[in-house]
Amino acid sequence: MYRPLASLRANPRNARTHTKAQLRQIADSIRAFGFLNPIILDDEGVVLAGHARLAAASSAGLQVVPTVRASGLTEAQKRAYVLADNKLAEKAGWDRGLLNAELGELALLLPQIDLDLTLTGFEPPEIDAIFTDRGPAKADPVEDLPVVPSSVCSQHGDLWCLGPHRLLCGDARSAGDVDRLMAGRQARMTFTDPPIQRSRRRPRAGPRARQAS
């Protein structure tokens, strides 16, 4: 259903951001292909999915846009969908071989109808890198990792000897745990992530602290 652009309300809880360059690309896509992906609304006309398309349509000067109403969702469901619609799309990958072939053919076809390859959303440096990478698609190494067992197989204090390496299930802030792990040897470098931001409250300065300052 087409609705006036002015009647749609942006979702105040939308955490997704969009650059001006991206919005320009979406607006160019709408001009070239039409508004093929409707904006998803709730029963009150609040946007659940399509904030970038909404902004791009406004910059393109459109007065009406296609919409789909998602009725019957609870408030929690709507809020979760707003995040899922954006986040789940990030998990997709590319078949590099097919992508290379598709962009290669479009590079010849699109100029014949006065369109540019960047309408696909790929930037020129990305396109050059894809054309350079003509090797077969490689499997994601994450898929070859063993499945993590559901039951816990280690507990605090367990020391694992992995060839020349040692792995301790302990507390990096504990001098005793560190000494046990290192077994008398000294590390050349450490990487830590201490919980330094657990609280933003500063301790009240006592007499000694004021005197030292």
| Six-digit token string for 120 | 């696909």
Q: What is the pTM of this model?
A: 0.58
Alpha helices (runs of H) in the chain, residue ranges in sequence order: 20-33, 51-59, 75-90, 96-109, 124-132, 175-182, 207-212
Architecture of domain 2-90 in this structure: Alpha-Beta Complex (3.90)
Distance from chain centroid for Cα 137 = 22
Q: What is the pLDDT of residues 17-45, one digit of tens each?
A: 999 999 999 999 999 999 999 999 999 99
- Residue spans of the domains in the chain: they are 2-90, 96-132, 156-189
For 130, the 3-state DSSP assignment is helix
The amino acid present at 122, given as its one-letter code, is: F
Q: Report how far residue 72's alpha carbon sits from residue 43's, in angstroms, rounded to the nearest whole number.
A: 8
56-to-44, 45, 86, 153, 165 alpha-carbon distances in Å? 22, 18, 17, 52, 54
Q: What is the pLDDT of residues 88-124, one digit of tens each?
A: 988 888 898 899 999 999 999 999 999 989 999 998 8
Q: Report how far residue 97's alpha carbon sits from residue 111's, in angstroms, rounded to the nearest whole number.
A: 22
Q: What is the pLDDT of residues 137-190, one digit of tens each?
A: 556 666 676 766 667 678 888 998 988 899 999 888 888 998 999 988 888 888
